[in-house]
Amino acid sequence: MAAAAEELLGQHLVQGVISVPKGIRAAMEHAGKQEMLLKPHSHIQVFEGAEDNLPDHDALRAALAIQQLAEGLTADDLLLVLISGGGSALLPAPIPPVTLEEKQTLTKLLAARGATIQELNTIRKALSQLKGGGLAQAAYPAQVVSLILSDVIGDPLEVIASGPTVASAHSVQDCLHILNHYGLRAALPRSVKTVLSRADSDPRGPHTCGHVLNVIIGSNSLALAEAQRQAELLGYHAMVLSTAMQGDVKSVAQFYGLLARVAAASLTSSMAGQPLEEEEKLYQLAAELQLPDLQLEEALEAVAKANGGPVCLLAGGEPTVQLQGSGKGGRNQELALHVGTELGRQPLGPIDVLFLSGGTDGQDGPTKVAGAWVMSDLVSQASAEGLSIATFLSHNDSYTFFSRLQGGAHLLHTGLTGTNVMDVHLLIFRPQ
Ligand SMILES: Nc1ncnc2c1ncn2[C@@H]1O[C@H](COP(=O)(O)OP(=O)(O)OP(=O)(O)O)[C@@H](O)[C@H]1O
Ligand SMILES: O=C(O)[C@H](O)CO
């Protein structure tokens, strides 16, 4: 983002500071993506930090430099803020007396107890000088334009990277409620209690952000819309199902398995009458998954109208994995492996069905691949190679599974993309 902004702005860019994940420049260089790095004489100072997506002293130094730059601006300046997911850990500026270590501990505890990103970032905002509109406040009276890549379902401006340029609408009561809910209120450090009680009586009230323009320039729905366009160019009837896929990968896989069976039956006009029960189950599961923008009926209509032609259903979001084993994998590969199992449950008729799941950042969990793709013959392929899918799944070892299966042919290699708008799922039908 910074390299593109500098290229576009040329000499209008006076100075800049960015806080990016540790090792990202070396990884980009290694991947041969020099064009994504800043030019040697760039006016932008780079800080790398927040190893393992946790705020650290390197990120704190970066946050300080960003704060100083913002505070030095006048009404004649324009501050361009480039925001992407991971921004919360990359911009830590705890309100004293809260220390970085205390913030780190609280963030880790909340995450480990299953707090949602909305809850986590509500707490982060309450304890930070720069989140929840703090950065915009520091830049006042300069104008502020924030260009934002969304990694949160629904693209909520105030949640993405904890909204450094978005006024926070949360109260201390909201924070206490969250801390209570996760059993953390009693054990809070004194510093956190002090900051929260001060916020209650802060005469300045919440930050105002009238001088700010926040714009989402990248999101899962934009990625899916482009994927849909490409699929149509390739001759598919393409349709976006949802940009809010969430829930446990096992339930999401069941959903795709049922959808594949219902759609395949409709496309091949086979099993007349029989899929009704499956269709009911599909709608029931869809309701359980609570996907706010799901276009299931429309998708099934589109399939029916495809007249036996190739169909591509697209979806996006971020399902979750319950880690229980010590294997190597990521949520996309694990989802693909579960969907492969579902597709093998019963014959789908004279049709090829392919499911692909990939992380848009190009890195699925701690692996070097973006995800994986499967077809309905996955189960038989695996058993022909002596690979037990159930065993790999029980160890969360999807990467090892796909690395072995057909010499890794089902792994999706994109390399680091330098951005993250969550995951993309494709379900493709090609009648034979
Ligand atoms: N062995 C594994 N099998 C399946 N999923 C895993 C495994 N190990 C880690 N994960 C998942 O990978 C994710 C952690 O990887 P990463 O650091 O890339 O997280 P993230 O920032 O949430 O992901 P992303 O950057 O893709 O949004 C978590 O969702 C975690 O559950
Ligand atoms: O940084 C964060 O807060 C998360 O990635 C959500 O944007």
ipTM of the complex: 0.94
Please report which confidence band the pLDDT of residue 325 belongs to, taking 50, 70 and 90 as the band edges: confident
- Residue 377 pLDDT > 80, yes or no? yes
Answer whether 155 contacts ligand 1 (Cβ < 6 A).
no
Answer whether 317 contacts ligand 1 (Cβ < 6 A).
no
308 or 173: whose pLDDT is higher? 173
Average pLDDT over residues 119-133: 96
d(CA 142, ligand 2 centre) in Å? 25
Note the pLDDT of residue 276.
Answer: 81
Q: Distance of alpha carbon 112 from its chain centroid, rounded? A: 18
Q: Which ligand is nearest to the Cα of residue 90, counting in written order?
A: 2
Note the pLDDT of residue 200.
Answer: 65
d(CA 264, ligand 1 centre) in Å? 31
Please report which confidence band the pLDDT of residue 188 belongs to, taking 50, 70 and 90 as the band edges: very high
Answer whether 358 contacts ligand 1 (Cβ < 6 A).
no
Average pLDDT over residues 322-347: 95
Q: What is the pLDDT of residues 199-257, one digit of tens each?
A: 766 655 556 788 999 999 999 999 999 999 999 999 999 999 999 999 999 999 999 99
**Among the atoms of ligand 1, which is closest to the Cα of residue 326?**
1
- Give the span between the Cα atoms of 100 and 276, in whole angstroms: 56
- Give the span between the Cα atoms of 124 and 19, in whole angstroms: 17
Task: Give the residue from 46, 199, 84, 191 showing the smallest Cα distance to 134.
Answer: 199
Angle (nearest 5°) at CA 6 between 5 and 7: 90
Top mutation candidate among 83, 88, 120, 153 for ligand 2, by most atoms within 8 Å of CB: 88
Average pLDDT over residues 137-144: 96
Note the pLDDT of residue 187.
Answer: 86
- Residue 137 pLDDT > 90, yes or no? yes
Angstrom distances, CA of residue 360 to CA of 95, 218, 277: 34, 11, 35
Average pLDDT over residues 408-418: 94
Average pLDDT over residues 144-153: 98
User: Helix H segments across 201-322?
Assistant: 220-233, 249-268, 275-289, 296-305
Average pLDDT over residues 133-152: 97
Q: Pick the range with the lowest mean pLDDT from 206-210, 325-329, 339-343.
A: 206-210
